[in-house]
Amino acid sequence: MKTHQLTRKQYQKIKKYDHNEMNKFTTSLYQNGYEDGKKSIEATKEDTFTLQEIQKALKSTKGIGPKKQADILLELGKTNKDWGLRD
């Protein structure tokens, strides 16, 4: 996570902003944060698994039968959005 330290000079400048300048500043700040967030999500997409990849791994795991595989995949399908799994 990137951090940015506000200097005293920047603080004094921001403190004197009128409504329009503050609106531009906060919009710019929001857009920069949004873009940084998008970039970080794109970077983590490479670290996700598809349900097919998980199913293949489960099938090759000794001790996990078809019923347990189905239960695990069903549960993962429910939490697909929460875990960031790709379909």
| Pair 13, 41 in one domain | yes
| Pair 55, 40 in one domain | no
pLDDT of residue 4 exceeding 70, the answer is yes
Q: Which residue has the higher pLDDT, 41 or 70?
A: 70
Number of domains in the chain: 2
| Pair 36, 60 in one domain | no
| Pair 21, 39 in one domain | yes
The boundaries of the domain holding residue 56 are: 51-83
pLDDT at 77: 75
| Pair 40, 56 in one domain | no
pLDDT digits (tens, 9 = 90+) for 57-83: 888 888 888 888 888 888 877 765 555
50 by DSSP, 3-state: which?
strand
pLDDT of residue 1 exceeding 70, the answer is no
pLDDT at 80: 59
Q: Tell me the mean pLDDT in the region 5-29.
A: 95
- Asked if residue 22 is part of any domain, the answer here is yes
